[in-house]
Amino acid sequence: MTNNYILSSMMNSLKLDKIDILKAYKLVDKKITQDDVDDILREPSDEKFILLSDEGFELFLNGFIAYKRGPSDKKVKKKKIYFSNNIILKKLKIALDLKDEDIIKIFANDGLEITKSQLSAYFRRDGHINYRKCSDVLLKRFIKGLSK
């Protein structure tokens, strides 16, 4: 599953438009144009298609957090992390100010029953004994559940 697909799915589920994407990038001082957004959202078979990198998508998610919750006064130390579905899920949780109960309901909206302890495993640090990897299917169901 590409970052482009996830971004497009988020836009559909959360009813975001291209202006929202531009505003989120602007909040993290990323220079991006309307044409860039159009190219990111194109079909992969289109010759103008631009693949959204992990770094570019992470910048969007950080900007989306600031867009939804307001800018933070804290200086974020940029450390190299492995970008994964777990990170995307965590950043969406922060941006949308979701509690565990809210996320459980969102999954239930898509017909997936998940317990609080199962959910907490997705937010643990990689390498923790109870860490569980968030699959593409799980992330898709979460984003789909957001629209309902």
Q: Kindly state whether residue 79 falls inside one of the protein's structural domains.
A: no
Phi and psi of 19, rounded to 5°? -65, -40
**12 and 62 assigned to the same domain:** yes
CB 40 within 8 Å of CB 52? yes
With cut-offs at 50, 70 and 90, classify the pLDDT of residue 110.
confident
Within a domain: residue 58?
yes
Cβ–Cβ contacts within 10 Å for residue 122, how many?
21
Do 47 and 95 reside in the same domain of the chain?
no
Mean pLDDT over 39-43 rounds to: 95
On whether residue 76 sits in a domain, the answer given is no
What pLDDT shows up at residue 70? 85
CB-based contacts of 97: which residues, under 8 Å, 6+ apart? 68, 69
Does residue 27 fall inside a structural domain?
yes
Same domain, 100 and 128: yes
Whether the pLDDT of residue 35 is over 80: the answer is yes
Indicate whether 129 belongs to any domain. Answer: yes
Is residue 75, in this structure, part of any structural domain at all?
no
Angle between helices 100-109 and 136-147 (to 10 degrees): 90
Tally the domains of the chain: 2
* Domain presence at residue 96: yes
Classify residue 126: in a domain, yes or no: yes
Boundaries of domain holding 58? 3-69
**For 42-95, what is each residue's pLDDT tens digit?**
999 999 999 999 999 999 999 999 999 987 776 555 656 678 999 999 999 999
Question: What pLDDT is stored for residue 80 in this prediction?
Answer: 60
pLDDT at 78: 60
pTM for this predicted structure: 0.86
